[in-house]
């Protein structure tokens, strides 16, 4: 059902602390109840409609209120959740699915295949503006055989439905509730089948969740879970050290190492299935391939890793992570500032006559983002690329990209807990989808046929070739595998996930 090569399995399991999870029902909760855990978080969910936005950062919050059809273990292996089993047809034109019969939403109503069909088919058909269409727009019907059994049918071969059912925005919602409250209600008043209910909410400030003791699945030890929305990394650290919160995410690697020496706190730097990269546009200044490639050659990725992650962040040369399917293992794009100067000179630029580009970055959205951007500005300046740096939020990045107003380049992160190249390269460069920044018809024409290939090995081989070509074309500047940094009180134990989830059931008393 889910195919991940052995090298990836071992690498990610090691990154998660060496625990090779063998069965889906493995529990982290102990018998000790925890009254409240508070977490200093980077940003508020843009919406409470869990199907509306494909974005990594709200995922941990949304998973407290809603359930996904398929879950993931620490090592990214797919595991049963709402669905107990699934079977993709050999031609990838349908997938048979079976659901649990004991799931209830927080209003007490049972979840059935009607809710599954509504979420992954009817919402798209009725024109709801949701990112779920990116993965499931090819669903032509979901045949309901019984309240717990159905068949997803596709208008074209769909090789990755199981991966998408475990990915961002793939949460089952109640059909009856959605029809009762409408789009606006879904966006503002969440109601799901997950282990928590929302009991208090202040936009961009505070989220308070109460545990559902009637939850159908594994019951977390935490009775009340609070997310304090604190965009600034320094302020998140201060909240932790003052005792106002128990956990703080996306701290600097310097602060993580200092907390690790403390007798009051613990801290981790967790390599996750997320990449840090520089987006480039295909028009404007970057229409010139020489400038695009020069911008890539000028960046010393190993230095970025050493300076901002203590050397722990793996440098990458393709839009994926080494060991994941589709990553060209024997491919390298070297740091070569002299080559960058040579390319710029061919287009009439250099240190004495620099080309000017716009460059956007977030500040505090992930560990080191603003500092990494400033370091890149310095590297570019040395070869003859002058940069107008501006700070934006994650939400602004999506809005600017959707309206074609994103600057020439931007520092961003891309999460792909499935490891499948379709959700990396396929979604990054298909101009018919909302996430592409380098938009060119010839690239979209190369990518779209890959979505239809049912043969796994052939599909991965073609993504391998495409990734090489995209880098040589200067269509993206991959930098590093992202490092998730978390500091927390020594009163707790915490088990990280290699997709970056922070799960309540992974927090227990020390």
Task: Specify the CATH number for the domain of residue 449.
Answer: 3.10.105.10
The pLDDT score that the predictor gives to residue 367 is: 85
The verdict on 190 and 331 lying in the same domain is no
| DSSP-H helix ranges across 165-268 | 175-188, 233-241, 253-260
The verdict on 447 and 346 lying in the same domain is yes
Minimum mean pLDDT among 4-8, 154-158, 399-403: which range? 4-8
The verdict on 419 and 502 lying in the same domain is no
pTM here is 0.81
The verdict on 296 and 397 lying in the same domain is yes
SS3 477: strand
Average pLDDT over residues 64-83: 94
The verdict on 280 and 389 lying in the same domain is yes
The verdict on 498 and 475 lying in the same domain is no
Rounded mean pLDDT of the chain?
92
For residues 401 and 458, what is the distance between their CA atoms, to the nearest angstrom? 32
- What is the per-residue pLDDT across 92-102, written as a single tens digit (0 to 9) for each? 999 999 999 99
- What is the per-residue pLDDT across 114-151, written as a single tens digit (0 to 9) for each? 999 999 999 999 999 999 999 999 999 999 999 999 99
Question: Above 60 in pLDDT, residue 67?
Answer: yes
Residue pair 304/409 in contact (Cβ under 8 Å)? The answer is: no
pLDDT bucket at 311, cuts 50 / 70 / 90: very high
The verdict on 375 and 421 lying in the same domain is yes
Question: Above 80 in pLDDT, residue 338?
Answer: yes
For residues 208 and 213, what is the distance between their CA atoms, to the nearest angstrom? 16
The pLDDT score that the predictor gives to residue 228 is: 98
The pLDDT score that the predictor gives to residue 9 is: 36
- Residue 40's CATH number: 3.40.190.10
Minimum mean pLDDT among 57-61, 236-240, 287-291: which range? 57-61
Q: Tell me, yes or no, whether 210 lies in a domain.
A: no
The verdict on 441 and 346 lying in the same domain is yes
Residue pair 470/327 in contact (Cβ under 8 Å)? The answer is: no
Question: Above 60 in pLDDT, residue 11?
Answer: no
The pLDDT score that the predictor gives to residue 286 is: 97
Cβ neighbours, 10 Å, residue 455? 13
The verdict on 447 and 371 lying in the same domain is yes
The pLDDT score that the predictor gives to residue 32 is: 83
The Cβ-side half-sphere exposure at 261, using a 13 Å CA radius, reads 5
Question: Above 50 in pLDDT, residue 404?
Answer: yes
Residue pair 452/228 in contact (Cβ under 8 Å)? The answer is: no
The pLDDT score that the predictor gives to residue 145 is: 98
Q: Tell me, yes or no, whether 18 lies in a domain.
A: no
The pLDDT score that the predictor gives to residue 75 is: 82
Residue pair 170/156 in contact (Cβ under 8 Å)? The answer is: no
% the chain with pLDDT above 90: 84
Q: Enumerate residues 6+ apart whose C-beta is below 8 A from 189.
A: 48, 181
The pLDDT score that the predictor gives to residue 459 is: 94
Q: Tell me, yes or no, whether 201 lies in a domain.
A: no
The verdict on 161 and 305 lying in the same domain is no
- Structurally, the chain folds into a number of domains equal to 2
The pLDDT score that the predictor gives to residue 6 is: 35
Question: Above 50 in pLDDT, residue 401?
Answer: yes
Q: Tell me, yes or no, whether 171 lies in a domain.
A: yes
The pLDDT score that the predictor gives to residue 21 is: 33
Q: Tell me, yes or no, whether 8 lies in a domain.
A: no
- What is the per-residue pLDDT across 468-484, written as a single tens digit (0 to 9) for each? 999 999 999 999 999 99
For residues 322 and 314, what is the distance between their CA atoms, to the nearest angstrom? 9
Question: Above 50 in pLDDT, residue 170?
Answer: yes
What is the extent of the structural domain holding 303?
Answer: 274-483
The pLDDT score that the predictor gives to residue 19 is: 33
Q: Tell me, yes or no, whether 118 lies in a domain.
A: yes
The verdict on 319 and 455 lying in the same domain is yes
| Residue 83 phi, psi dihedral angles, 5° rounding | -85, 135
The verdict on 280 and 395 lying in the same domain is yes
The pLDDT score that the predictor gives to residue 31 is: 63
Please name which of 40, 19, 38 lies closest in space to residue 486, comparing C-alpha atoms.
Answer: 40
Q: Tell me, yes or no, whether 19 lies in a domain.
A: no
The pLDDT score that the predictor gives to residue 255 is: 95
For residues 250 and 257, what is the distance between their CA atoms, to the nearest angstrom? 13
Q: Tell me, yes or no, whether 245 lies in a domain.
A: no
Q: Enumerate residues 6+ apart whose C-beta is below 8 A from 255.
A: 237, 267, 485, 487
């Amino acid at each position: 059902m889910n195919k991940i090569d052995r090298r990836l399995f071992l690498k990610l399991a090691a990154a998660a602390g060496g625990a090779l999870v063998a069965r889906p029902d493995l529990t982290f909760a102990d018998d000790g109840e925890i009254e409240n855990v508070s977490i200093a978080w980077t940003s508020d969910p843009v919406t409470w409609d869990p199907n509306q936005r494909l974005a990594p950062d709200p995922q941990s919050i949304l998973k407290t209120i809603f359930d996904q059809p398929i879950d993931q273990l620490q090592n990214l292996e797919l595991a049963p959740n709402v669905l107990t089993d699934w079977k993709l047809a050999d031609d990838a034109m349908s997938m048979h699915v079976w659901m649990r019969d004991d799931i209830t939403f927080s209003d007490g109503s049972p979840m059935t295949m009607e809710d599954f069909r509504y979420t992954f088919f009817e919402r798209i058909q009725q024109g709801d503006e949701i990112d779920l269409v990116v993965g499931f727009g090819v669903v032509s019907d979901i045949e309901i055989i019984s309240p717990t059994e159905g068949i997803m049918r596709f208008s074209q071969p769909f090789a990755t439905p199981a991966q998408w059912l475990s990915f961002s925005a793939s949460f089952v919602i109640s059909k009856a509730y959605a029809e009762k409250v409408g789009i606006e209600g879904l966006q503002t008043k969440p109601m799901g089948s997950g282990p928590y209910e929302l009991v208090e909410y202040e936009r961009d400030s505070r989220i308070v969740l109460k545990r559902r003791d009637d939850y159908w699945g594994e019951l977390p030890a935490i009775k009340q879970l609070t997310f304090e929305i604190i965009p600034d990394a320094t302020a998140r650290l201060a909240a932790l050290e003052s005792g106002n919160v128990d956990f703080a995410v996306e701290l600097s690697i310097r602060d993580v190492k200092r907390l690790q020496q403390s007798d009051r706190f613990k801290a981790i730097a967790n390599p996750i299935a997320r990449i840090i990269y520089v987006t480039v546009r295909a028009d404007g200044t970057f229409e010139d391939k020489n400038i695009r490639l020069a911008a890539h050659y000028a960046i010393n990725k190993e230095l970025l890793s050493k300076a901002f992650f203590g050397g722990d962040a793996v440098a990458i040369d393709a839009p994926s992570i080494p060991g994941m399917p589709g990553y060209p293992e024997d491919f390298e794009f070297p740091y070569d500032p002299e080559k960058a100067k040579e390319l710029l000179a061919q287009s009439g630029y250099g240190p004495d006559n620099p080309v000017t580009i716009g460059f956007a970055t977030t500040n505090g959205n992930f560990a080191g983002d603003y500092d990494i951007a400033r370091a890149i500005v310095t590297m570019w300046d040395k070869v003859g690329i002058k940069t107008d740096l501006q700070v934006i939020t994650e939400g602004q990045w999506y809005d600017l990209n959707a309206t074609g107003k994103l600057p020439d380049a931007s520092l961003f992160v891309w999460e792909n807990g499935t490891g499948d190249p379709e959700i990396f390269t396929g979604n990054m460069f298909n101009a018919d989808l909302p996430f592409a920044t380098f938009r060119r018809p010839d690239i979209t024409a190369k990518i779209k046929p890959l979505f239809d290939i049912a043969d796994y090995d052939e599909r991965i081989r073609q993504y391998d070739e495409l990734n090489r070509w995209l880098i040589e074309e200067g269509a993206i500047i991959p930098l590093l595998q992202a490092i998730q940094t978390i500091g927390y009180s020594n009163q707790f134990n915490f088990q990280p996930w290699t997709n970056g989830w922070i799960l309540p059931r992974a927090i227990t008393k020390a």
